Structure 1
Amino acid sequence: MTSPSQPDAEAKTITPAAPAKGRGLAGLALLVAIAALGAAGWSSWQLYQQQTQSARLLAQFNEAGAAAQQQLQASEQRVEQRLSGIPTAAAIATQRDLLVTLQGDQQRLAKTLSEVLGKSREDWRLAEAEHLMRLAMLRLTALQDVSSATALVQGADDILRAQEDPQAFAARGELIKVLEALRSLPQVDRSGLFLQLAALRAQVAELQMLAPEYILPPQAPSAVNASDSSRWDDLWAELSRYIRVDLHADQDVRPQLAGQSLAQVRLTLALALEQAQWGALNGQPEVYRQALASAREVLDRYFDRDNQAVMALQQRIGELSQQSVVTEPPKLDEALNALQAYLKQREAADLMPEASAPAVEEGGQ
């Protein structure tokens, strides 16, 4: 149940709301004023900063303009200096004429130098050809080395061919004759024969067991109470050291070789092969063939003919005895004389080039 005094209380509580609303509006206006004042201050500060930056930029622009002007002035001065150093048209024409004259002199000098060097190089090559011919003669006469002599003469012919001189036709003809004669000769390999005989000498040492040699079997120590049969066996073993009989009805009876005799036979065979080596290396066909014949005789007399190693050694010695150790090389004197005559003719032509030129002019007139 509501009391009569309740409306009055509500009226009392609602009445003070008007002053509170007025204070809120005043606060809001104050805030707006403060914000406006801050914005005005910020704007003033920004304007101040922009003015300061503009003044700074203006000062930098003025400095850059002054520096650019100084550089421009310095460039103008350098250009004026360069322009002042440029020669005049007359001076340029004079320098051009001097340059043309200098180039002509250089070309003539280079041509003269190339001619001189070319002649010197040709002379060196021709001297080399003569030296090759002398070496070929030495190889043929001293060692009879046909292959090396052929290569040396071919080198001399190549040098003459590179000259492309018609006057060298006769000399080249002689060289080609020598080349064909050398190519038709049989190839004599003296060093190869020497090495092959050395290999056969090494095989002689392996023939020591091919000759029959009696080797006693090892004997056991005799007992104290040896029987009569063992005594006869010992006696027979002792006699076997001095006497041995080996009879074959279908073969020749040959003496057995003991250690010292076998060593002497092997030494004789090795010396025969060594003598054959000397004959092959020095171009002595008689000594070569006679030494090989002696070696075959030693093999046939003292060693077993049916042994495979002895048969192979005899067959190899027979093949080597058919090899030639000397040839009849052609004479290189005519070819060398023709080459020397060509060199003298060429030297005489180089010494008198000016003497021949006036003669030609007088004949033309």
Structure 2
Amino acid sequence: MADSQDKLTPSDEAKLAALEKQLAIEKTASPSAKKEQAATANKRVEKPATKPAEILADQTSYKSSKSTTSSAPRKSTTGSKGKTGVLWFFTLVNLLVLVAIIGAGYWTWLQWQAQNQQQSDILAAQQASMSQQQKNIEQSIASNQLAKGDLEQQNQALQSSISSLVEQLQLTSAEVQTNQRNLADVSGRRPADWLLAEADYLVRMAGRKLWLEHDVKTAIMMLQSADSRLQDLDDSSLLPLRARLAEDLQTLQQLNQVSTSSIALALGAMLKQVDNLPLAFFKKPEDKTVDEAVTESIVDWRANLAHNWNEFTKNFFSVERVTTDIKPFMSEQQQWLSKEQLKFALMQAQVAVLQENSTLYQQSLQIAFGLLIESFDTEKDMVVQFTDSLSNLQLTDFERTYPEQFKVAPLLRDIIEQRLNSRFVNGNN
């Protein structure tokens, strides 16, 4: 019985091994307990032949020491684990709050960057449109200057031609005065020769009206008056002269009878109406004023917040529904420039019609039509009537082909010279 009680059963040995493993895992045990455990283990290994009573005593002391040593560390381990869990919980909460703050700041920064990029894009687009408008204005000014230079050259050419025609008129006047003096010398001898000289004068004046003033009707009337003077002479030898005169009258009557001065006067009247024509542009809407004012009362914090938000966002973007066709905006300088361009085109057409230059006349009217369609409101009645009048003037044909000279003029001059020479010869004889 004693031997059986002194010896350890396999179950007890297994329990001891489990306890030793648990003590090894738990590192919170004190160094004295570790030393006692090591000493106990050494005794158990080195002295297997110890008495059963000693083994039981050692076992009992081991259990008591184990119970005392294991109970204290367990309490400290449980307290430290509770504190560590709370610390980890607060650390995790702080970390999540920090991550949320960083995410909100990053999102706010992205929104700020997007707004700045949008504003910079809008400013770049506005600057590009303003630079394009400035280029267009500069190009139109340059084209106007070129057209002005061409018009000045044409005016110089016209003045030179007028000066040459004036010189020719002076020469013609000198010849007429010479003929008048010659006729005065033979006055009283053949009174009928005055009618012949008067017919020559009328033919010369008809030529001046035709080639200088392009007045076809007056030229025809003067040639008819010259024919009546020749008819009053009742001289059969002057029949070939009257036949040439009839051919000249037929040539003038077949010319275009449209008065270029009437067209020029009509264009001049339309020039005065340009300033009253409505332009095609929309007015910029006025800024809507907010009646609500910011108050210092705490009760009105919502209204103050809404007012401040509207004031903050009104310069960034604005949305407004448009139900009509959007027309291009025109500044005051562009309005003035559009009207001046139309006036310049009409003035150029007026000069062309006075010069009877049909090509330049049609080009100028085409430019005027383009300006009306591009810059003026074609839906207004005033613009429509102005366009119709311009169309009627464009369809008016005033092109003429004048004869180089009257066929009767050289023949009439030869007859007058022959009669004067015959009078001088008879006078000398």
Asked whether the two chains share a fold, i.e. TM above 0.5, the reply is yes
User: Retained in 1: the 8 A contact 2:282–2:327?
Assistant: no
- The DSSP-based 3-state class of the residue aligned with 2:258 is coil
Distance across 2 between alignment mates of 1:125 and 1:270: 50
Seen in structure 2, the aligned counterparts of structure 1 residues 243 and 340 have a Cα distance that, compared at 3 Å, is: farther
- 2:222 is aligned with 1:152: yes
Contact 1:167 1:342 in 2 (8 A): no
Deviates more, 1:184-193 or 1:214-223: 214-223
Hey, what's the Cα distance between the residues in 1 that align with 2:319 and 2:350? 40
Aligned to 2:358: 285
Tell me: higher relative CO, structure 1 or 2? Use CA pairs within 8 A at least 6 residues apart: 1
* Residue pairs, 1:27-46, within 5 angstroms: none
Match of 1:345 in 2: 418
How do 1:265-280 residues align onto structure 2 when only pairs under 5 Å count? 265-280=338-353
Q: Is the 8 A contact 1:144 1:326 kept in 2?
A: no
**CA–CA separation in structure 2 for the residues paired with 1:183 and 1:128:** 22
CA contact (8 A) 1:178 1:335 kept: yes
Cα distance, 1:189 vs. partner?
A: 1.2
Q: Relative to 1, partners in 2 of residues 1:220 and 1:350: Cα closer, same or farther, differing over 3 Å? A: same
- Structure 1 residue 275: deviation in Å? 0.6
State the partner residue of 1:257.
330
Identify the match of residue 191 of structure 1 among 243, 255, 261.
261
Q: Which SS does the other structure have where 1:143 is aligned?
A: coil
RMSD (Å) for aligned C-alpha atoms: 3.5
Q: For residues 285 and 230 of structure 1, do their structure 2 counterparts lie closer, same or farther at Cα, with a shift above 3 Å needed?
A: farther
Tell me how far 1:350 sits from its aligned partner. 3.5
Decide which of 273, 298, 305 is 2:371's aligned counterpart: 298
CA distance in 1, matches of 2:319, 2:194: 81
Give the aligned residue type for 1:290.
Answer: Q
Q: State the alpha-carbon separation in 2 of the partners of residues 147 and 185 from structure 1.
A: 10
Cα contact 1:133–1:336 (8 A) shared by 2: yes
Q: Distance in 2 between matches of 1:124 and 1:230?
A: 101
Check 1:220–1:287 CA distance in 2 against 1; reply closer, same or farther (3 A cut). same
Q: Cα deviation per residue 1:185-233 (whole Å; 9 max; x = unaligned)?
A: 22131211111111111111111x4423315559889686586677788
* Rounded Cα–Cα distance in structure 2 between residues aligned with 1:307 and 1:225: 46
2:222 is the alignment partner of 1:131:
no
Distance 2:313 2:372 in 1: 33
Structure 2 Cα separation of the partners of residues 179 and 235 of structure 1: 85
Cα deviation, residue 303, structure 1: 2.0
The CA deviation string for residues 248-289 of structure 1, in whole angstroms up to 9 with x for no partner, is 4xx6x5412232211111111111111111101111111111
| Of 295, 298, 314, the match for 2:387 | 314
CA distance in 2, matches of 1:237, 1:309: 39
> Given the alignment of the two structures, is residue 140 of structure 1 paired with residue 210 of structure 2, yes or no?
yes
| Unaligned ranges ≥5, structure 2 | 1-185, 296-302
8 Å Cα contact 1:197-1:273 kept in structure 2 = yes
CA contact (8 A) 1:210 1:307 kept: no
Q: 2: distance between equivalents of 1:336 and 1:130?
A: 7
- Distance (whole Å) between structure 1 residues aligned to residue 423 and residue 319 of structure 2: 92
Q: d(CA) in 2 for partners of 1:193 and 1:290? A: 16
Give the Cα–Cα distance (whole angstroms) in 1 for the partners of residues 307 and 372 of structure 2.
41
CA distance 1:288–1:231, shift in 2 (3 Å): farther
Report the counterpart of residue 127 of structure 2 in structure 1: none
Normalised to the residue count of structure 1, the TM-score between the two structures is: 0.56
Amino acid at match of 2:345: A
Tell me how far apart the structure 1 counterparts of residues 311 and 373 of structure 2 sit (CA, whole Å). 37
- Separation in structure 2 between the aligned mates of residue 224 and residue 195 of structure 1, nearest angstrom: 62
Q: Which amino acid is the alignment partner of residue 142 of structure 1? A: L
Please give the alpha-carbon distance, in whole angstroms, between the structure 2 residues aligned to 1:231 and 1:189: 71
Match of 1:166 in 2: 236
Q: Which amino acid aligns with 1:317?
A: L
Shift of 1:150: 0.7
CA 1:348–1:232: 2 relative to 1, 3 Å: farther
Q: CA deviation at 1:343?
A: 1.5
| Distance (whole Å) between structure 1 residues aligned to residue 338 and residue 313 of structure 2 | 30
Q: Match for residue 46 of structure 1?
A: none
Aligned length: 236
Report the Cα distance in structure 2 between the residues aligned to 1:243 and 1:309, rounded to whole angstroms.
Answer: 34
Tell me if the contact between 2:345 and 2:368 (Cα under 8 Å) persists in the aligned partners.
Answer: yes
Which ranges in structure 1 are unaligned for 5 or more consecutive residues?
1-115, 357-365
Q: For residues 308 and 286 of structure 2, what CA distance do their matches in structure 1 show?
A: 16
Deviation string 1:33-63 (CA, Å, 9 cap, x unpaired) is xxxxxxxxxxxxxxxxxxxxxxxxxxxxxxx
Q: What is the CA distance between 1:294 and its match in structure 2? A: 0.2
Match for residue 326 of structure 1?
399
Native 8 Å contact 1:144 1:327 kept in 2: no
Output the TM-score relative to the length of structure 2: 0.48
Check 1:355–1:218 CA distance in 2 against 1; reply closer, same or farther (3 A cut): same
Letter in 1 for 2:382: A
Give the direction of change, closer, same or farther, for the CA distance of 1:225–1:244 in structure 2 (3 Å limit): closer
Q: Could you tell me which amino acid in structure 1 is paired with residue 280 of structure 2?
A: A
Structure 2: how far apart are the matches of 1:236 and 1:162? Answer: 97
Q: Which whole-Å CA distance do the structure 2 matches of 1:153 and 1:118 have between them? A: 26
Task: Kindly report which structure 2 residues correspond to 1:6-17, keeping only aligned pairs within 5 A, or say none.
Answer: none
Q: How far is 1:329 from its partner?
A: 2.1
User: Partners of 1:344 and 1:276 in 2: how far apart?
Assistant: 45
For 1:267 and 1:244, locate their aligned partners in 2 and report how far apart those are by CA, in whole Å.
34
Which whole-Å deviations, capped at 9, do the CAs of 1:64-109 have from their partners, x for residues lacking one? Answer: xxxxxxxxxxxxxxxxxxxxxxxxxxxxxxxxxxxxxxxxxxxxxx
Identity percentage over the alignment?
Answer: 25
